[in-house]
Amino acid sequence: MSEVPDRGAERGVNRPPGDSGLYLDGVTVRFDGFRALNALSLLVEPGELRAVIGPNGAGKTTMMDVITGKTRPAEGVVRFAGRDLTRMDESAIANLGIGRKFQKPTVFDALSVFENLELALKAPRGPIACLRWVLAGAARDAILATAQRIGLEARVHDKAGLLSHGQRQWLEIGMLLMQDPQLLLVDEPVAGMTDHETAQTAELLAGIAGGARSVVVVEHDLDFVRALGCRVTVLHEGTMLSEGSIDHVQADPRVVDVYLGR
């Protein structure tokens, strides 16, 4: 029998509800009695990059749905930057600075890279911030800086429809960045990408996290997760199974049993 570590301490459940960062404690989501999340606890510090892995059906997407207000938990605490997210609707949560990238990019094919980024700048979050950009005449600079950050500076005037699959994913990340999110949730970003694009995406996301901005990435590709170089949370049956470095979780017998060993 392997020694079972003190999972309470590991999960951070003894820590007080932080007034910064993302804090989930005892979160349960039921669908017709089935627990998609089962007393899930998670703490992500401001500026932290976190990877979340786990088998299909583990509850990874449901966790993101709870954070963004799409799904209400039956029980538990969900806080970000000192705010109780369970009392806020989806648009209020988005306005708080929580951005989400879905698996399927929602870029506008008929518009250029520049125009897509410009649209994102004008989107609802932060009209004051938006006005400030316009007054300073800096919108163009902000757009070009983001295009450079996502590696599309040479493609700014090309239509999004001409981009590769990976470049479209980056464009959508760029569109989210135009809103200056404080927490970015990214669901399976490298599915279908080439190895080179996958490596570049790891670099991009690692660079986006930092300062006050946290990034949570759900992904199956363990080489990609390793390249992120961050703490990893393993979900299984709606709860946290293991947490730590990629080496730690890959060596954890519980993780090997339910996920890696298959």
Binding stretches for ligand ADP (CB under 6 A): 31, 36, 54, 56-62
Question: Given the structure tokens 């209400």, which residue do they identify?
Answer: 72
* Radius of gyration, CA atoms only, the chain: 19
Residue closest to Mg ion when measured from CB atoms: 61
Question: Which residue lies nearer to ligand ADP by CB, 147 or 255?
Answer: 255
Closest contact distance (angstroms) between CB of 88 and ligand ADP is 20
Residue pair 260/234 in contact (Cβ under 8 Å)? The answer is no
Question: Which residue lies nearer to ligand ADP by CB, 64 or 121?
Answer: 64
Question: Which residue lies nearer to ligand ADP by CB, 54 or 151?
Answer: 54
Question: Which residue lies nearer to ligand ADP by CB, 52 or 163?
Answer: 52
**Using CB under 5 A, which residues numbered 61 to 80 contact Mg ion?**
61
Selection from ligand ADP, Mg ion, none that 14 binds (CB < 5 to 8 A by kind) is none
Closest contact distance (angstroms) between CB of 136 and ligand ADP is 41
**Using CB under 5 A, which residues numbered 36 to 65 contact Mg ion?**
60-61
Selection from ligand ADP, Mg ion, none that 31 binds (CB < 5 to 8 A by kind) is ligand ADP
Tell me the C-alpha to C-alpha distance, in Å, between residue 216 and each of 3, 45, 134, 152: 29, 11, 30, 23
Long-range contact set of residues 102-109: C-beta below 8 Å, sequence gap at least 24 = 102/187, 103/187, 103/188, 103/191, 105/168, 105/169, 105/171, 105/172, 106/172, 107/160, 107/163, 107/168, 107/171, 107/172, 107/175, 108/160, 109/159, 109/160, 109/161
Residues near Mg ion (CB under 5 A) = 60-61
